[in-house]
């Protein structure tokens, strides 16, 4: 494959491919002839090395003052050969040569493959144009690539003589940079939409998981928040199961850090996690990252359902972000979020000043059913507090959560010390959601990571049944 300028002789082939690739949105031959004749636009063709008349693809860019990619088309028989990437690189080079400092383009909102190619080149989403592509009425994502810092950034008035104050002796300081403020545990669709289309888009993590189901990745590929990365709870948010540690033990710090970097997390970017279960599985990612020292991580209230209900678009296909460089701490150390082990959970349940919450369904707490663990019932002294009761019927947080937890004995007071609180569930996943909810209420709660799957596998641990 080689590149050369697109010529009027190529337009017969371009017209045939336009109809196949772009359907009703195709350009006319007259439009292309006008584009090729325009002095402020550059068009490139990708052709076979052996036969330069065989068109593999074409692309165009508008130069000063627009700096916008006008089109990129790749012949169906040339897919997966890097033709689109080569054409895009040629357009970026043309803009650089012309002195452009940024480049824009629009991509169909559901075209995950094209969006991924642009992200690989350094583009990031900055805006959404509703019903931009006609007559289909599809939304367009506007993406931007910065090419160079502004030539005038930090420069004073033109022609003015720079006058600097006399230098003062500098006192060395070893004061550490203060950490960023902790992000709210939950954020709504409006806040996430605003962040996604900002110059500093967050890392979006799609944590679709449910007990007994394995179709999370397939659901993700069919449609996810723009730019979101799929997170596999079983392999990336948990270590291998064992009777001694439970069904979802905490991953090692090295494993979690490797995954977080693969997801694109850096110290400078916020993180938003979501799922299609009201945040009850995404909370596992929230808890692990917060416990490992990531302060700017939040759960999307209402999850995927809320995003779609708000009329926001979904992107298809897999997202492969640029690797991040985040450094994580041991989430089990308790330096950022508290943890308790089996002995700590037992002591808290037996204490008059503590509350141990069981976040499983009520029938599992009472011992009426037990679908996965070896014994039915609950940790003696625990209080039933099903995670699902944190949510409304449509998956949003309830408005009366403070009253709910006060009724369970969990109260945060301004002047009196609050009771110590810990939460467990079946394997430490959905309990993380209750920890996040309590954090949103200003109540610090510990997580028992091994939870009932660890407790019930230990024959020396007593199991109670019936209501609390």
Q: Which residues are catalytic?
A: 425
How far is 370 from 101, CA to CA, in rounded Å? 61
| β partners of residue 73 | 58
| β partners of residue 160 | none
**CA Rg value for the chain:** 28
Number of H helices, E strands in the chain: 15, 16
Q: Identify the helix (H) or strand (E) that includes residue 341.
A: none
Q: Peptide bond preceding 65: is omega within 30 degrees of 0, i.e. cis?
A: yes
For tokens 């609050």, name the residue. 418
Token pair in block for residue 413: 């007071």
Q: Peptide bond preceding 135: is omega within 30 degrees of 0, i.e. cis?
A: yes
- SS3 of residue 99 by DSSP: coil
DSSP 464: B
For tokens 């929230």, name the residue. 286
As a residue count, the chain comes to 468
Token pair in block for residue 131: 């019903």
Judge whether 391 and 278 are in contact, CB under 8 Å. Answer: yes
| β partners of residue 4 | 45
CA distance readout (Å), 3 to 37, 43, 46, 85, 120: 19, 10, 5, 12, 20
How far is 400 from 39, CA to CA, in rounded Å? 64
Contacts of 299 (CB under 8 A, 6+ apart): 185, 186, 187, 272, 273, 274, 279, 282, 283, 286, 433, 436
């Amino acid at each position: 494959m080689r590149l050369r300028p697109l010529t009027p002789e190529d337009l017969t082939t371009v017209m045939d491919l336009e109809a196949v690739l772009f359907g009703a949105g195709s350009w006319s031959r007259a439009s292309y002839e006008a584009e090729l004749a325009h002095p402020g636009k550059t068009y490139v063709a990708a052709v076979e090395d052996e036969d330069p008349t065989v068109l593999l693809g074409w692309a165009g860019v508008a130069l000063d003052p627009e700096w916008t990619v006008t089109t990129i088309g790749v012949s169906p028989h040339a897919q997966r050969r890097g033709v689109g990437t080569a054409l895009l690189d040629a357009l970026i080079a043309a803009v650089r040569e012309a002195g452009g400092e940024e480049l824009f383009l629009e991509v169909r909102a559901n075209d995950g493959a094209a969006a991924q190619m642009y992200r690989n080149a350094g583009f990031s989403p900055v805006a959404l144009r509703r019903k931009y592509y006609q007559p289909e009425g599809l939304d367009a994502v506007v993406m931007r690539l910065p090419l160079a810092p502004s030539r005038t950034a930090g420069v004073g008035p033109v022609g003015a003589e720079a006058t600097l104050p006399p230098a003062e002796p500098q006192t060395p300081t070893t004061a550490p940079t203060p950490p960023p403020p902790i992000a709210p545990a939950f954020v709504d669709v409006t806040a996430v939409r605003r962040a996604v289309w900002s110059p500093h888009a967050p890392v979006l993590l799609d944590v679709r998981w449910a007990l007994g189901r394995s179709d999370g990745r397939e659901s993700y590929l069919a449609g996810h928040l723009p730019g979101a990365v799929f997170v596999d709870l079983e392999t990336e948010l948990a270590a291998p199961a064992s009777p001694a540690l439970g069904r979802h033990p905490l991953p090692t710090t090295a494993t979690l850090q490797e995954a977080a970097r693969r997801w694109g997390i850096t110290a400078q970017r916020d993180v938003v996690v979501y799922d299609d279960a009201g945040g009850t599985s995404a909370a596992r990612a929230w808890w692990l990252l917060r416990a490992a020292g990531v302060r700017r991580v939040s759960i999307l209230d209402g999850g995927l359902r809320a995003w779609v209900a708000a009329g926001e678009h979904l992107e298809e296909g897999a997202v492969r972000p640029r690797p991040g460089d985040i450094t994580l701490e041991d989430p089990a150390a308790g330096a950022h979020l508290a943890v308790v082990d089996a002995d700590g959970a037992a002591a808290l349940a037996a204490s008059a000043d503590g509350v141990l919450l069981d976040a499983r369904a009520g029938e599992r707490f009472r011992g009426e059913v037990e679908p996965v663990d070896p014994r039915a019932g609950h940790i003696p002294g625990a209080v039933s507090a099903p995670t699902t009761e944190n949510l409304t019927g449509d998956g949003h947080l309830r408005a009366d959560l403070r009253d709910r937890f006060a009724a369970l004995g969990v109260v945060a007071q301004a002047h009196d010390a609050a009771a110590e609180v810990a939460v467990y569930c079946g394997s430490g996943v959905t309990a993380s959601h209750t920890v996040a909810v309590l954090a949103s209420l200003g109540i610090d709660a510990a997580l028992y990571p091994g939870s009932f799957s660890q407790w019930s596998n230990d024959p020396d641990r007593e199991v109670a049944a019936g209501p609390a």
